[in-house]
Amino acid sequence: MDFKSLANEYQTPLYVYDFDYMKAQFDELKEAFRGRKSIIAYAVKANSNLSVVKHFAKMGSGADCVSIGEVRRALLAGIAPYKIIFSGVGKTDDEIREAIEKDILYINLESEAELGRVELVAKELGKQARISIRVNPNIDPKTHPYISTGLHDNKFGVDLNSAKRMYIKAKNSENLDPVGIHFHIGSQLTELDPIRESAEIVADLVRSLQALDIELKFFDIGGGLGVKYKDEETIKPYDYAQAILGTLTAMDMTILCEPGRFLTANAGYFLTKVLYEKQNGEKKFVVVDGAMNDLLRPSLYNAYHGIEAITDNTEDEREVDIVGPVCESGDFFAKDYKLPPLNHNDLLVVKSAGAYGFGMGSNYNTRGRSAEVAIEDGKARLIRRRESFEDLIALEQEFLEN
């Protein structure tokens, strides 16, 4: 990929996405579940650019959404309502109402209180709401604590006993139709055993519900498949699928899988130009035009991203901190990272930036967010223009006092 030409044409900071890589990842995961009824529902929060979502829609993908805004994005991008799931801990009545009216596949419930709200809204509409319940299997996913979601210490899902009560109540309700069961123990999962253990626990719950004449159609395994940022040992999609399927003996349910990071992370690159170098005592800094408002993961999680320098300098590498212009000491992309000496306008390519990059961006320090570019079949096209100052003040300017 000619990053230098892309940076010259579209300027920096810049996000670049390899759409062909995304398709290859999607196809590999779909193939892993071949022979079994399944829906791959792209987790829109990973990268919600409309062109990205449309790219997956054209492959037949569904959508896992965690806000009504994401549901709207999925529909606008061409994903069929019957392939859309609406998850998330805190849905408002208005969001629930819209989801029911849009007739999506199901609403994923995270608490007994939420079940009551969905039932009430559905009754007001004179409709029956299709629902799934997110079960918290209390399994340690062995990932970063900020992205762990399957323990009782986490805010997500309900315990097994609560889930059973909720299913019984839903079955007896005129306004609820329990069609699925869901679990998702965390993101960036690199070990198979926690996934298998969780699937076994949830599958046993399904069997106990069948004994109560509650027949569910969808076994929603969430997402979370880890990717390689540095030297992680990742799970092969085939092994992942076999671990899940092995727990569903004699159960005729449609598998629903919600990948996000797996599809987009390593398809994405963040390009940023060097402004200058500086030194404070023994500490060396490379100051670039990108910042934590563009790519937050290093500041938020201390996450590692591989970084490549595009420079004519062939001198020996030394350890530097790569930092941006934002007025925070937490504004960095890497610390003690080995790079050669760099000159003004040399280019840095931050890798694995296709998931939770642009979507977690902000306008902090009144900085416009980056442009986004797609590469498909060797051709580049703009899929989001760079924000201007006028964009940033558009919702405020009319309220200025004379």
Can you tell me the distance from the alpha carbon of 225 to that of 4, in angstroms, rounded to the nearest whole number?
A: 32
Give pLDDT, residue 187.
81
Q: Are 251 and 219 in contact (CB under 8 A)?
A: yes
**The pLDDT value given to residue 111:** 94
Q: Is the pTM for the entire model greater than 0.85?
A: yes
All CATH 3.20.20.10 domain ranges of the chain, comma separated, are 33-259
Q: Binding site annotation covers 385?
A: no
Does the annotation flag 261 for ligand binding? Answer: yes
328 appears as a binding residue in the annotation:
yes
Annotated active-site residue in 113, 211, 250, 327: 327
The answer to the question of whether 229 is labelled as a binding residue is: no
CATH number assigned to the domain covering 33-259: 3.20.20.10
Q: Please list the ranges in the chain whose pLDDT falls under 70.
A: 140-155, 402
31 Cβ contact list (under 8 Å, min separation 6): 237
Per-residue pLDDT at 150: 40
What is the predicted pLDDT for the residue at 194? 86
CATH 2.40.37.10 region(s) of the chain? 3-14+266-389
Position 142 scores a pLDDT of 53
- Token pair, residue 45, equals 């929060």
Exposure on the CB side of residue 302, measured as CA atoms within 13 A? 4
Alpha-carbon separation of residue 6 from 274, 357, 373 (angstroms): 16, 18, 9
pLDDT of residue 141: 53
Give the max Cα distance, the chain.
73
SS3 354: coil
Q: How high is the pLDDT of residue 149?
A: 44
301 is in an annotated binding site: yes
Question: What DSSP assignment string belongs to 327-353?
Answer: SSTT-EEEEEEEE----TT-EEEE-S-
pLDDT of residue 190: 86
Pick the CATH number of 3-14+266-389 from 3.10.105.10, 3.40.50.2300, 3.40.640.10, 2.40.37.10: 2.40.37.10
Is 259 annotated among the ligand-binding residues? yes
Question: Cα angle at 171 between 170 and 177, to 5 degrees?
Answer: 70
Mention every residue, 6+ apart, whose C-beta is less than 8 A from residue 84. Answer: 41, 62, 63, 65, 71, 74, 75, 102, 104, 105
- How far apart, in whole angstroms, are the C-alpha atoms of residue 320 and residue 101? 54
Known catalytic residue: 65? no
Nearest CA among 105, 106, 112, 70 for reference residue 89: 112
| pLDDT for 146 | 43
